[in-house]
Amino acid sequence: MNYRSARLSTAFLIAAAATSILRGQAPAALAVDLNRPKAPVSPTLYGLMTEEINYSYDGGLYAELIRNRTFRSDWTGLLNWFLIEKGTASAKVAVSNDGPSKALPNSAKLEVAKADASSPAGLLNEGYWGIAVRPNTRYTGSLFAKSGGEDSLPLKIALVANQSGQVLASTSVSIAGTAWKEYKFAMQSGDATASAENHLELTIDKPATLWLQLVSLFPPTYHDRVNGNRIDIMEKLAAMHPTFLRFPGGNYLEGDRIDNRFDWRKTVGPLVDRPTHPSPWSYHSTDGMGLLEFLEWCEDLHMEPVLAVFAGYSLGGQVAKPGADLEPYVQEVLDEIEYVIGGPGTKGGTLRASHGHPAPFPLRYVEVGNEDSFDRSRSYDERYAQFYKAIKAKYPDLQIIATTPVKSLRPDVLDDHYYKRRQEMFAMANHYDQADRKGPKIFVGEWATREGDPTPNLGAALGDSAFLTGLERNSDLIVMAAYAPLFVNVNPGGMQWSTDLIGYNALSSYASPAYYAQVMFGSCLGDHIVSADLSGAGDKFFYSVTASAKSKVCVKLVNGSSTAQPVAMTLNGLGSGPHTARLQTLKAETTWATNTIENPERVVPVRSQLSLKGERLEQVVPGYAIQVLEIDLK
């Protein structure tokens, strides 16, 4: 986490407030009564939503370095792969309908007519906008191959700098025989300067024919997971202390057509048995991030899974009719749930164990579909009911989330989505204040203030924070909330949806002001909502107060106006003190101030310590500022 720090005292705050008051600004009054708890705060309020969009996994979180490792092609030829013919070498490459598995029935056939040690031939992979190579780092890989003859054929594997041609790491494997076989390898970089301007070369130095498939290469991953995730991005997520992960979508769950849905069965097991599939966000998914990898991601960050399941509707309008037509999809979901939580005696649990994870995962929430209000056939009510009954019959404790209101039965939880501009999010701060407490609980499964491209700016963070104060004040009703989209690859062509929380390229990642606002909000969340009243502030000022009995009070203040706002706080029940407190402030001079991949720390929180005496505190909240004040009760 990137924080700046400053040391303040109440005297400073009071003096600052007094200066503003002298300038004629009357302070707003925030009256907090710590002796009047209003309702419990949901312990799972803050979590994450994710899907394959903006190169979120491939070219993003999923640490695979090779782009198009399964040799897909179009009329231009193999995608992301290029022929190498050095010196006098001569070779050609084509797609062959011969592959190592049913799921991957094709391969790249490399025919080298002429090559020697000084004139090798082979294939080059460009990576996801380059391949990041860091100094003294171990890269582990694998590939499937077979050759045209029985003689052993040495295949050289190298990471090469684009500009200088310098070999940064290399190794070789000996391809033996005419049958498909998997080869594993590792290579180590030396004192290279960290850069993403590199590519992979696979070369041979004699005439031969070679078939290749599933060429994969990984850097070190978070928690050293095989087939794992990028460390820098996982660390940013960990700093948010998320309590749940909603996956795998979003539109990505639904697919453009039913055939292109997230079919969990095709995303588990060895990579060679995963056929890959087109995603609705205009690029192809490797499915390296499959059902088990999502669950292990949850495990790594101590998040509970919120499992979104395909519910018979795809984005292009294809619908499996409720009744017999829908039944296979219901069974698919029952099998999926069993894969997640089934014990050793179950088919699903046994399958999961065979994939390396014998222990069942925890599961409380299953979400049926995504944004089914778009279904023009209006079949969701019946589809939801069919899934609900089948799931509850087998797993009565599971909570079933609906994506739009239904009438035939009462959903356990309803998923609301909001994508809005800042002023609209300000208006949303009171949206749930009067909401029906007798209806379903609410999951705000996707929300974002959409200002800033590719990542949100400070103005968006203000809209987000105003909205979050409303969720906190109503967190007896709002059980969970998650921003979306979470990720964007900032390279040209990487983004399909603007305003995404965390940006990256192949080498590094950065956090937006909106990300920092969420880290601040998540860093102090009490277990109950405290009775609090604000008067005398303008309509662009927002607050929430929560507390944990005997440990801390959390005050969130959001000033969406450009003018500083003095606030006179009374904390009835705090006692005479002294109490230590920590203040975090995120602010900027304009709403358009932001962070970028080149300037990742322009808008970051500033932390200060203070000591409180008595139950009154006067404070100036700067213009365009978000503040989180954590007061120790002990």
* SS3 category, 27: coil
Mention every residue, 6+ apart, whose C-beta is less than 8 A from residue 445: 49, 246, 306, 367, 401, 403, 415, 416, 417, 480, 481, 482, 484
d(Cα 517, Cα 594) in Å, to the nearest integer? 13
Segment near ligand AHR (CB under 6 A); pick from 249-257, 335-343, 387-395, 426-434: 249-257
**C-alpha span between 73 and 133 (Å, rounded):** 27
- List 502's β-bridge partners, or say none: 487, 511
Site for ligand AHR in 294-353 (CB under 6 A): none
- β-strands 606-612, 478-483 pairing: unpaired
Considering the complex, state which of residue 367 and residue 630 has its C-beta at the smaller distance from ligand AHR: 367
Q: Identify residues 573-612 at the interface with ligand AHR (CB under 6 A).
A: none
Nearer to ligand AHR, 53 or 557 (CB): 53
As measured in angstroms, the least distance from the Cβ of 252 to ligand AHR is 6
Compare residues 189 and 251 and give the one whose CB is closer to ligand AHR: 251
The residue from 228, 250, 288, 290 that contacts ligand AHR (CB under 6 A) is 250
Element spanning 109, H or E: strand 107-114
Nearer to ligand AHR, 8 or 484 (CB): 484
How far the first Cα of the chain sits from its last, in Å, is: 27
**Gap between the Cα atoms of 465 and 468, Å rounded:** 5
- Site map 417..446 versus ligand AHR, x via CB under 6 A: -----------------------------x
Judged by CB, which is closer to ligand AHR: 251, or 457? Answer: 251
Interaction between residue 255 and ligand AHR (CB under 6 A): no
Of 32, 45, 51, 480, the residue at the interface with ligand AHR (CB under 6 A) is 51
Residue 485 Cβ vs ligand AHR, minimum distance, rounded to whole Å: 5
Pairing verdict, β 478-483 and 487-489: unpaired
Nearer to ligand AHR, 111 or 416 (CB): 416
Contact indicator for 630, 582 with CB cutoff of 8 Å: yes
Q: How many CB atoms lie within 10 A of CB 185?
A: 16
Only one of the segments 55-63, 247-255, 335-343, 425-433 lies at the binding site for ligand AHR (rule: CB under 6 A); that segment is: 247-255
Q: In 3-state terms, what secondary structure has residue 320?
A: coil
Among 127, 130, 485, 605, binds ligand AHR (CB under 6 A): 485
Phi, psi of 407 (to 5 degrees): -105, -25
DSSP assigned state of 57: I
Structure tokens at 337: 């749930």
DSSP-derived letter for residue 290 is -
Minimum separation from the CB atom of position 486 to ligand AHR (A): 9
- Check residue 451 for interaction with ligand AHR (CB under 6 A): no
When asked if residue 251 is in the footprint of ligand AHR (CB under 6 A), the reply is yes
Q: Which helix (H) or strand (E) holds 581?
A: strand 579-587
What is the pattern of x (binds ligand AHR, CB under 6 A) and - over residues 368-407? --xx------------------------------------
If one asks whether residue 249 binds ligand AHR (CB under 6 A), the answer comes out as yes
- The nearest distance, CB 446 to ligand AHR, in angstroms, is 5
Which span (210-218, 243-251, 257-265, 381-389) binds ligand AHR, by CB under 6 A? 243-251
> Rule CB under 6 A: which of 491-530 touch ligand AHR?
497
* CA–CA separation, 266 and 149 (whole Å): 33
- Torsion region of 26: left, alpha or beta (phi above 0 gives left; psi -120 to 50 gives alpha): beta
* Residue 126 binds ligand AHR, judged by CB under 6 A: no
Tell me the C-alpha distance between 43 and 502, whole Å: 24
To ligand AHR, the closest distance from the beta carbon of 374 in angstroms equals 8
Options 60-68, 223-231, 245-253, 558-566: segment touching ligand AHR (CB under 6 A)? 245-253
In the complex, least distance from residue 253 CB atom to ligand AHR, rounded to whole angstroms = 8
Using CB atoms within 10 A of its CB, is residue 561 exposed (0-12), middle (13-18) or buried (19+)?
middle
Closer CB to ligand AHR, 251 or 379, in the complex = 251
Binding stretches for ligand AHR (CB under 6 A):
51, 53, 249-251, 370-371, 446, 484-485, 497
